[in-house]
Chain A
Amino acid sequence: MTTNVSEQFHAVGEDIHDTKAPAGPIERRWDERKFSTNLVNPANRRKLSVIVVGTGLAGASAAATLGEAGYHVKSFCYQDSPRRAHSIAAQGGINAAKNYRNDGDSIYRLFYDTVKGGDFRARESNVYRLAQVSVNIIDQCVAQGVPFAREYGGLLDNRSFGGVQVSRTFYARGQTGQQLLIGAYQALERQIAAGTVEMNTRHEMLELIMIDGKARGIIVRDMVSGEIETHTADAVVLATGGYGNVFFLSTNAMGCNVTATWRAHRKGAYFANPCYTQIHPTCIPVSGDYQSKLTLMSESLRNDGRIWVPKKAGDDRAPSDIPEDERDYYLERIYPAFGNLVPRDIASRAAKYQCDAGKGVGPGGLGVYLDFADAIARLGRHEVEAKYGNLFDMYAQITGENPYEQPMRIYPAVHYTMGGLWVDYDLQSNLEGLFVAGEANFSEHGANRLGASALMQGLADGYFVLPYTIANYLADGPYEKIDDSHPEVVAARTAVEERIEKFLSINGTRTVDSFHKELGQIMWDYCGMERTEEGLIKAISMIRDLKADFWSNVKVTGVNEELNQTLERAGRVADFFELGELMCIDALNRRESCGGHFRAESQTEDGEALRHDDEFAYVSAWEFGDEQPTLRKEPLEYEYVEMKSRSYK
Chain B
Amino acid sequence: MNITVRVWRQKNADDKGRMVTYGVENVSEHMSFLEMLDVLNEQLTLSGDDPIAFDHDCREGICGMCGVVINGIAHGPEVTTTCQLHMRSFEDGAVIDVEPWRAGAFPVVKDLVVDRSAFDRIIQAGGYISAPTGSAPDAHAVPVPKDDADHAFDAATCIGCGACVAACPNGSAMLFTSAKITHLGLLPQGQPERESRVIGMVEQHDHEGFGGCTNIGECTSACPKGIPLDTIAQLNRDLLGALAHGKA
Q: Do chains A and B touch in the complex (CB under 8 A)?
A: yes
Instruction: Confirm or deny: A89 has a beta carbon within 8 angstroms of a beta carbon on chain B.
Output: yes
| Bound complex: CA A83 to CA B124 (Å) | 12
Q: Do the beta carbons of B59 and A139 come within 8 Å of each other?
A: no
Q: Do the beta carbons of B189 and A147 come within 8 Å of each other?
A: no
Q: Do the beta carbons of A253 and B136 come within 8 Å of each other?
A: no
Chain A residues, Cβ within 8 Å of B124: 189-190, 192-193
Q: Do the beta carbons of A88 and B30 come within 8 Å of each other?
A: no
Instruction: Confirm or deny: A302 has a beta carbon within 8 angstroms of a beta carbon on chain B.
Output: no
- The residues in A between 457 and 509 inclusive whose CB is less than 8 angstroms from any CB of B are 463-464, 467, 509
| Bound complex: CA A64 to CA B113 (Å) | 28
Chain A residues, Cβ within 8 Å of B49: 557
Instruction: Confirm or deny: A79 has a beta carbon within 8 angstroms of a beta carbon on chain B.
Output: yes
Given A86-B57, A464-B133: A145 in contact with B189 (beta carbons within 8 A) = yes
Chain B residue nearest to A100 in the complex (CB): B140
Chain B residue nearest to A291 in the complex (CB): B35
- The residues in B between 13 and 59 inclusive whose CB is less than 8 angstroms from any CB of A are 28-32, 34-36, 38-39, 42, 44-46, 48-51, 53, 55-59
Chain B residue nearest to A514 in the complex (CB): B42
Chain A residue nearest to B180 in the complex (CB): A186
Give a binary string over B55-71; 1 marks a CB under 8 Å from any A CB, 0 the rest: 11111101111000000
Q: Do the beta carbons of B187 and A139 come within 8 Å of each other?
A: no
Q: Which of B91-99, B155-163, B211-219, B226-234 contacts A (4 or more CB under 8 A)?
A: B155-163
| Bound complex: CA A199 to CA B34 (Å) | 28
Q: Do the beta carbons of B28 and A140 come within 8 Å of each other?
A: no
Choice from A83, A189, A397, A563 contacting B64 with Cβ under 8 Å:
A83
Give a binary string over B114-135; 1 marks a CB under 8 Å from any A CB, 0 the rest: 0111011001110111111111
| Bound complex: CA A136 to CA B133 (Å) | 9
Q: Do the beta carbons of A563 and B53 come within 8 Å of each other?
A: yes
Choice from A186, A254, A557 contacting B50 with Cβ under 8 Å:
A557
Q: Do the beta carbons of B110 and A398 come within 8 Å of each other?
A: no
Q: Do the beta carbons of B153 and A172 come within 8 Å of each other?
A: yes
Choice from B55, B60, B133 contacting A65 with Cβ under 8 Å:
B133
Given A89-B60, A190-B124: A287 in contact with B30 (beta carbons within 8 A) = yes
Choice from A65, A145, A172, A292 contacting B190 with Cβ under 8 Å:
A145
Chain B residues, Cβ within 8 Å of A563: 12, 53, 109-110, 113
Given A83-B64, A187-B131, A193-B124: A562 in contact with B42 (beta carbons within 8 A) = no
Q: With both chains docked as a complex, state the minimum distance between the C-beta of B160 and any C-beta of chain A, in angstroms.
A: 6
Instruction: Confirm or deny: B245 has a beta carbon within 8 angstroms of a beta carbon on chain A.
Output: no
Q: Do the beta carbons of B146 and A175 come within 8 Å of each other?
A: no
Choice from B42, B84, B116 contacting A81 with Cβ under 8 Å:
B116
Chain A residues, Cβ within 8 Å of B159: 178
Q: Which of B62, B88, B152 has the most CB of A within 10 A?
A: B62
Instruction: Confirm or deny: B205 has a beta carbon within 8 angstroms of a beta carbon on chain A.
Output: no
Instruction: Confirm or deny: B75 has a beta carbon within 8 angstroms of a beta carbon on chain A.
Output: no
Q: Which of B32, B113, B128 has the most CB of A within 10 A?
A: B128
Q: Do the beta carbons of B50 and A84 come within 8 Å of each other?
A: no
Instruction: Confirm or deny: B9 has a beta carbon within 8 angstroms of a beta carbon on chain A.
Output: no
Q: With both chains docked as a complex, state the minimum distance between the C-beta of B143 and any C-beta of chain A, in angstroms.
A: 3
Q: Do the beta carbons of A511 and B109 come within 8 Å of each other?
A: no
Chain B residues, Cβ within 8 Å of A28: none
Instruction: Confirm or deny: B183 has a beta carbon within 8 angstroms of a beta carbon on chain A.
Output: yes
Q: Do the beta carbons of A287 and B80 come within 8 Å of each other?
A: no
| Bound complex: CA A142 to CA B190 (Å) | 11
Q: Do the beta carbons of B129 and A143 come within 8 Å of each other?
A: yes
| Bound complex: CA A562 to CA B117 (Å) | 18
Chain B residue nearest to A178 in the complex (CB): B62
Instruction: Confirm or deny: B144 has a beta carbon within 8 angstroms of a beta carbon on chain A.
Output: yes
Q: With both chains docked as a complex, state the minimum distance between the C-beta of A255 and any C-beta of chain B, in angstroms.
A: 5
| Bound complex: CA A86 to CA B61 (Å) | 11
Chain A residues, Cβ within 8 Å of B64: 81, 83-84
- The residues in A between 546 and 582 inclusive whose CB is less than 8 angstroms from any CB of B are 555, 557-558, 562-563, 565-566
Given A193-B125, A555-B45: A86 in contact with B138 (beta carbons within 8 A) = no
Chain B residues, Cβ within 8 Å of A391: none
Q: Do the beta carbons of B117 and A81 come within 8 Å of each other?
A: yes
Choice from A85, A138, A175, A190 contacting B130 with Cβ under 8 Å:
A190
Q: With both chains docked as a complex, state the minimum distance between the C-beta of A462 and any C-beta of chain B, in angstroms.
A: 9
Q: Do the beta carbons of A83 and B138 come within 8 Å of each other?
A: no
Q: With both chains docked as a complex, state the minimum distance between the C-beta of B245 and any C-beta of chain A, in angstroms.
A: 22
Number of A-B contacts (CB under 8 A): 218
| Bound complex: CA A138 to CA B136 (Å) | 9
Instruction: Confirm or deny: B246 has a beta carbon within 8 angstroms of a beta carbon on chain A.
Output: no
| Bound complex: CA A84 to CA B184 (Å) | 20
Q: Do the beta carbons of A513 and B38 come within 8 Å of each other?
A: yes
Instruction: Confirm or deny: B6 has a beta carbon within 8 angstroms of a beta carbon on chain A.
Output: no
Q: Do the beta carbons of A89 and B62 come within 8 Å of each other?
A: yes
Chain B residues, Cβ within 8 Å of A168: none
Choice from A136, A142, A173, A565 contacting B153 with Cβ under 8 Å:
A173
| Bound complex: CA A92 to CA B113 (Å) | 31
Q: With both chains docked as a complex, state the minimum distance between the C-beta of A132 and any C-beta of chain B, in angstroms.
A: 14
Instruction: Confirm or deny: A155 has a beta carbon within 8 angstroms of a beta carbon on chain B.
Output: yes
Chain A residues, Cβ within 8 Å of B184: 145
Instruction: Confirm or deny: A179 has a beta carbon within 8 angstroms of a beta carbon on chain B.
Output: yes
Given A153-B143, A156-B140, A400-B30: A89 in contact with B63 (beta carbons within 8 A) = yes
Instruction: Confirm or deny: B5 has a beta carbon within 8 angstroms of a beta carbon on chain A.
Output: no
Given A82-B120, A178-B157: A145 in contact with B146 (beta carbons within 8 A) = no
Q: Do the beta carbons of A557 and B45 come within 8 Å of each other?
A: yes
Instruction: Confirm or deny: B139 has a beta carbon within 8 angstroms of a beta carbon on chain A.
Output: yes
- The residues in B between 139 and 183 inclusive whose CB is less than 8 angstroms from any CB of A are 139-140, 142-146, 149-150, 152-153, 156-157, 159-160, 183
| Bound complex: CA A155 to CA B141 (Å) | 9
Given A81-B160, A155-B143, A189-B120: A143 in contact with B11 (beta carbons within 8 A) = no
Chain A residue nearest to B154 in the complex (CB): A147
Give a binary string over A171-196; 1 marks a CB under 8 Å from any B CB, 0 the rest: 01101001100100111011011000
Instruction: Confirm or deny: A293 has a beta carbon within 8 angstroms of a beta carbon on chain B.
Output: yes
| Bound complex: CA A152 to CA B150 (Å) | 11
Q: Do the beta carbons of B63 and A154 come within 8 Å of each other?
A: no
Chain B residues, Cβ within 8 Å of A149: 149, 153
Chain B residues, Cβ within 8 Å of A100: 140
Choice from B60, B65, B137, B149 contacting A143 with Cβ under 8 Å:
B137
Instruction: Confirm or deny: A298 has a beta carbon within 8 angstroms of a beta carbon on chain B.
Output: no
Chain A residues, Cβ within 8 Å of B102: none
Chain A residues, Cβ within 8 Å of B58: 84, 86, 88-89, 253-254
Instruction: Confirm or deny: A15 has a beta carbon within 8 angstroms of a beta carbon on chain B.
Output: no
Q: With both chains docked as a complex, state the minimum distance between the C-beta of B17 and any C-beta of chain A, in angstroms.
A: 14
Chain A residues, Cβ within 8 Å of B78: 397
Q: Do the beta carbons of B12 and A156 come within 8 Å of each other?
A: no
A-B contact pairs, 10 of them (CB 8 A): A88-B63, A141-B139, A143-B189, A145-B128, A147-B152, A154-B143, A154-B145, A179-B156, A398-B32, A557-B50
The 3 closest A-B pairs by CB, nearest first: A154-B143, A143-B136, A186-B128
Q: Known pairs A98-B139, A144-B131, A189-B127. 19 more at Cβ < 8 A?
A: A80-B55, A80-B116, A83-B64, A88-B63, A89-B60, A140-B136, A144-B128, A144-B189, A145-B187, A149-B149, A155-B140, A156-B139, A201-B120, A255-B57, A463-B134, A511-B42, A514-B42, A555-B46, A565-B53
Q: CB within 8 Å of A: which residues of B?
A: 11-12, 28-32, 34-36, 38-39, 42, 44-46, 48-51, 53, 55-60, 62-65, 78, 80, 84, 86, 88, 109-110, 113, 115-117, 119-120, 123-125, 127-140, 142-146, 149-150, 152-153, 156-157, 159-160, 183-184, 187, 189-190
